[in-house]
Amino acid sequence: MTRGIDSTPYVSPTARALQALEILQSRPGTCADEIAGRLGVTQRAVRRYVAILREAGVPIESVRGRYGGYRLGRGARLPPVVFTEDEALGLVMAVLESHPEAIDRDELVGSALTKVIRALPESVGREAATLRDYAAAATDRRAAHPDPAVTSALVRAVASRRRARIRYKSAHGRDQETEVDPWAVVVRHGHWYLICHSHHVDALRTYRIDRIQSVEATSRSFSPPGDLDPVALLETHLGQGWGLPTRVVFEASPAELAPWIRPPMGRLDAHPNGCVLTGSTSNPAMYAQEWLAPIPFAFRVEGGDELRAAVAALAARCAAAVDG
């Protein structure tokens, strides 16, 4: 009788040992039975993999008892992070796109990027270094880079659900202190925002993190809203509460117009002549030039004298460009 060919790919004991190490890194205290089940091997094989790791200098401790298992000891050396060439190039491109100042090796992120590139294997690092050396990045004047220590403190507060005391400097330079329940940190168009419940005003607030001067964690805990959607909440909140009202009627259906409308522009509703966009702004010139002008449907500004003036000024500029 001829024995059939086993189609299961062969995996070396060393590779299995590294897989076991990954399990211990993510779940300290995992027992041999659990590791065996995840790897599809016997407990005896797991003990062999642990022995291989120990022989390689990885300190793995055995914990006895009902809740015992294996865990990495202090001073464990983790395996190096290995990037493919495409991953390395994608990482450099993402850093330069979001942080153009990283071109400068003396800048904080630029210095970190240099260390990452130097740690890459020569064949991979060479391409990443060339991309970084010969790419030119224009600084985004609208972007703002918050203090990493402040950002880290806020993220820890979000993760631990601990109330925090923050000191904030407004756009007008006014200092204020408040206690907040930090719900989420959101990155939007080059700016970092903290979405929180402010106890000073007992209401939802969004703060630019680059304007937060200090963060002090407290011992009080909180529970964020169960249906929290941080990005949608930020987009909606940014379109409300500004000093200058806006009301624009479009000759298009809500379905046609919806892809062109972002939540900060206001609320879109049906209207007898098409649909109406109702909101507010603090910058009518930007609202007219960057938000209304690209929309390929006829519209009429019915509310907001400041927005009407901004649209009229934009129309005059465009007409003057082709006059005569």
> Domain tally for the chain?
4
Q: Which long-range contacts (CB under 8 A, 24 or more apart) does 99-106 make?
A: 99/143, 99/145, 100/137, 100/138, 100/139, 100/140, 101/137, 101/139, 101/145, 102/137, 103/132, 103/135, 103/136, 103/137
Provide the residue range defining the domain that includes 127.
85-134
Q: With contact defined as beta carbons under 8 Å apart, do 200 and 179 qualify?
A: yes
Amino acid at 72: L
CATH number of the domain encompassing residue 183: 2.30.30.520
Report if residue 301 sits inside a domain. yes
Query: What is residue 77's predicted lDDT score, i.e. its pLDDT?
Result: 56
Residues 162, 124, single domain; the answer is no
Query: What is residue 154's predicted lDDT score, i.e. its pLDDT?
Result: 94
Please report which confidence band the pLDDT of residue 2 belongs to, taking 50, 70 and 90 as the band edges.
Answer: very low
- Determine what percent of the chain is predicted with pLDDT higher than 70: 91
Report if residue 4 sits inside a domain. no
Please report which confidence band the pLDDT of residue 65 belongs to, taking 50, 70 and 90 as the band edges.
Answer: low
Kindly tell me if the per-residue pLDDT of 32 is higher than 90.
no
Report if residue 62 sits inside a domain. yes
Residues 266, 313, single domain; the answer is yes
Q: Which of 182, 200, 234 is the last residue of a domain?
A: 234
Residues 91, 126, single domain; the answer is yes
Query: What is residue 294's predicted lDDT score, i.e. its pLDDT?
Result: 94
**Rounded-to-integer distance, Cα 261 and Cα 287, Å:** 12
pLDDT tens for each residue of 259-297:
898 778 888 888 888 999 998 998 999 999 999 999 999
- Which parts of the chain fold into alpha helices (H)? 13-26, 32-39, 43-55, 85-98, 108-119, 122-134, 148-160, 230-238, 254-257, 284-286, 305-322
